[in-house]
Amino acid sequence: MQIGPVRVAPALVLAPMSGVTGSAFRRLIKRENPGCVGLVVSEFISVEALSRNNRRSLEMCRFSDEEKPIAIQIFGYDIDRMVTGARLAEESGADIVDINCGCPVPKVVKRGGGCELMRQSAHLARMLTAVRRSLTVPLTVKIRAGWDDGTRNAAEIARIAEECGVSMIAIHGRTCKQAYKGTVDWDIVRSVVESVKVPVVPSGDICSPESAFLARQAGAAALMIGRGALLNPWIFSEIELSGEKRQARKRTEVDVADVIEKYLVLLREELPDKAVIGRLKQFICQVTKGLRGGAAVRRDLCTTPGLPDFMEQLARWSDTVRSRTKMGPESLLWAGGSVDA
Ligand SMILES: Cc1cc2nc3c(=O)[nH]c(=O)nc-3n(C[C@H](O)[C@H](O)[C@H](O)COP(=O)(O)O)c2cc1C
C-alpha cells in the first residue's frame, strides 16, 4: 500500500490502541514479526494536552528508528489546536499524521472529538482542510461505520475526507454505539472502498489468516490488527506467511514466557513501575488465553501487586515452563484463542 510517499509493505498495520501501542509494544511487535509489519500507529494523543506542551503527551510522540514507518494519531475538536498538534507530530518525525474520528469513549466524544466528528461533517471538513494545509507528510483518518444503527455514514465521511486531501482511510466496521460489541459490518467497509480512490484499511476482528482473507475480499488495501496482536503477538507473521502458503511455526508456552519477558524489558525502558505492571498484566491476560494452565498463570501473575513481587512470580513461572519443555514437546502445544471484546 502506498500512502503518499510512504510505502507500507507488507500491507499489515498495527492498530492504534490507547494504553497499549506505546513504543515498547510497537517495538515488541516489530521484533517478533521481522519484516511483517508495514506500519505502526501510536496511541491516540490529545491535541489539547499536546498543544499545551504536556510532557507525557510530548513523550507519546517519541519513537525509535526501528518503528518506522510510523503514524502518530491525534484527537480533539478545536481546529487551531488540531493544527498545532499535527505540526508537533510531524516535527517529531512521524511519517504520517492520523486523526481519530472513531473513538467512542464518552470523555472524548462529549468534547467533540473521536466519533463525534462523524456527526459534524462540516466541522470535520474544515478541520481536515486546515490540518492538511499545515502538514508536509500525509494525513490519514480512522473512522467507524457511523454513530449508530440509524447513521451508518462512513462512506459519506470517507468521501469528504478524500476531498479534503486525506491519503488513507482506516475504518473500524462497528458503530460508535456498538463500541466493541456485535460484529463488524463488512458491507459498510465495502461501501467505503467503493466510494473513494484512496486506500481503505479495515479494522476489527482480524485475528487469523482466515479473517484476514475475508477482510481482503472486502477490498482492503491493507489490514489493521489491534487486539489480535495482544492475543497473538506473532499474528503479523502468521498472516504474511499464510499468504505465501507457508506454515507458521507452532507457538509454545516457552514462546509466551519469552515474549512476556521481552515486553517487560522494553516497558521498563520507558515507563514508571506502576505503568509497567499495568501494561504487562493487560498483555498477560490476553497472551495466555488458550495456553494450557493459562487461567492459573493469569490468576497468579495478575493479582500480584508491586513490580518486584511480580517479576519474581514471572521468573518462577518461566522457569517452570522451561523445565517442562525438557520433559517432552507434547506439553508445549498452544491451543489458540479468540479475540475478547
Ligand atoms: C484497548 C484499546 C484501545 C484503543 N485505542 C484506540 C486509539 O487510541 N485510537 C483508535 O483509533 N482506535 C483505538 N482502538 C480501536 C482499535 O484501533 C481497533 O479499531 C479496534 O480494536 C478493532 O480492531 P481489533 O478487533 O483488531 O482490535 C482501541 C481499541 C482497544 C481495544
Residue closest by Cα to atom 5 of ligand 1? 17
Domain limit, last residue, from 243, 276, 292: 243
Give the residue from 214, 243, 272 where a domain finishes.
243
CA nearest ligand 1 atom 15, residue: 17
Does 337 fall in a domain?
no
On whether both 136 and 83 belong to a single domain, the answer is yes
171 within some domain? yes
At residue 192 the predicted structure's pLDDT band, cuts being 50, 70 and 90, is: very high
Q: Say how many Å lie between the CA of residue 142 and the centre of ligand 1.
A: 10
For 199-236, write each residue's pLDDT tens digit. 999 999 999 888 898 899 889 999 999 999 999 999 99
Regarding the beta carbon of 205 and ligand 1, being less than 6 Å apart is answered yes
Which sign, positive or negative, has the C-alpha torsion 139, 144, 148, 152? positive
Q: Are residues 133 and 70 in the same domain?
A: yes
Residue-wise pLDDT for 23-60, tens only, equals: 999 999 999 999 999 999 999 999 999 999 999 999 99
So what's the pLDDT on residue 250?
66
For residue 219, tell me if it sits in a domain: yes
* pLDDT for residue 330 is more than 80: no
289 ligand 1 Cβ < 6 A: no
Atom of ligand 1 nearest to the CA of 225: 26
Does residue 340 sit within a domain?
Answer: no
CATH number of the domain that residue 94 is part of = 3.20.20.70
Is the residue at 339 inside a domain?
no
pLDDT interval class at 333 (50, 70, 90): very low
User: In testing the pocket of ligand 1, which one of 185, 227, 232, 286 has its CB within 8 Å of the most ligand atoms?
Assistant: 227
Q: How far is the CA of 179 from the centre of ligand 1 (A)?
A: 10
**Residue 249 confidence (pLDDT):** 58
Mutate to test the pocket of ligand 1, among 50, 203, 211 (most ligand atoms within 8 A of CB): 203
| Contacts for 220 with CB less than 8 Å, ≥ 6 apart | 11, 189, 193, 200, 201, 202
263 shares a domain with 232: no
Query: Atom 28, ligand 1: which residue's CA is nearest?
Result: 17
With residue 11 as reference, give the H or E element that holds it: none
Residue range(s) defining the domain that contains residue 313: 253-332
pLDDT tens across 160-184, in order? 999 999 999 999 999 999 999 999 9
CA of 308 to the centre of ligand 1 (A): 30
Over residues 94-125, the pLDDT tens digits come to 999 999 999 999 999 999 999 999 999 999 99
Is residue 247 pLDDT above 70, yes or no? Answer: no
Kindly state whether residues 7 and 137 are assigned to the same domain: yes
Whether 67 maps to a domain, the answer reads yes
Q: Does 43 contact ligand 1 (Cβ within 6 A)? A: yes
Distances from the Cα of 204 to the Cα of 14, 17, 61, 291, 339, angstroms:
12, 12, 25, 23, 10
Residues 316 and 282 in one domain: yes
Indicate the residue among 188, 212, 243 that finishes a domain. Answer: 243
Cβ of 229 less than 6 Å from ligand 1: no
pLDDT value of residue 323: 87
pLDDT tier at 338 (50, 70, 90 boundaries)? very low
User: Ligand 1 in contact with 16 (CB < 6 A)?
Assistant: yes
Shared domain for 214 and 277, answered yes or no, is no
CA 243 to ligand 1 centroid distance, Å:
24
| C-alpha torsion angle, residues 44, 48, 53, 57 (rounded to 10) | -20
Give residue 252 CA to ligand 1 midpoint distance, Å: 27
Q: Is 294 in the pocket of ligand 1 (CB under 6 A)?
A: no
Closest atom of ligand 1 to CA, residue 43: 8
Please check whether residues 182 and 262 belong to one and the same domain.
no
Ligand 1 mean position to 15 CA, how many Å?
6
Both 101 and 169 in one domain: the answer is yes
- For 252-309, how does the pLDDT look when each residue is reduced to its tens digit (9 = 90+)? 889 999 999 999 999 999 999 999 999 999 999 999 998 888 898 899 888 888 899 9
Question: Are both 281 and 236 inside the same structural domain?
Answer: no
102 lines ligand 1 (CB under 6 A): yes
What residues contact residue 56 under an 8 Å CB cut-off, 6+ apart?
49
**Sorting pLDDT into bands at 50, 70 and 90, what band is 156?**
very high
Ligand 1 centroid–CA 332 distance in Å is 31
Q: Check: CB of residue 153 under 8 Å from CB of residue 161.
A: no
Residues 14-23 have a mean pLDDT of 98
Closest C-alpha to 48, from 86, 76, 19, 73: 76
Q: Is the CB of 204 under 6 A from ligand 1?
A: yes
Give the pLDDT band of residue 20 (cuts 50, 70, 90).
very high
Predicted confidence at residue 291, as pLDDT, reads 85
CB 216 within 8 A of CB 200: no
The answer to whether the CB of 100 is under 6 A from ligand 1 is yes
One domain, residues 266 and 153 = no
- Does residue 172's CB lie within 6 angstroms of at least one atom of ligand 1? yes
Out of 36, 103, 164, 176, the active site residue is 103
Residues 158 and 277 in one domain: no
Domains identified in the chain, total number: 2
115 is catalytic: no
| Helix %, strand %, coil % of the chain (to 5) | 50, 15, 35
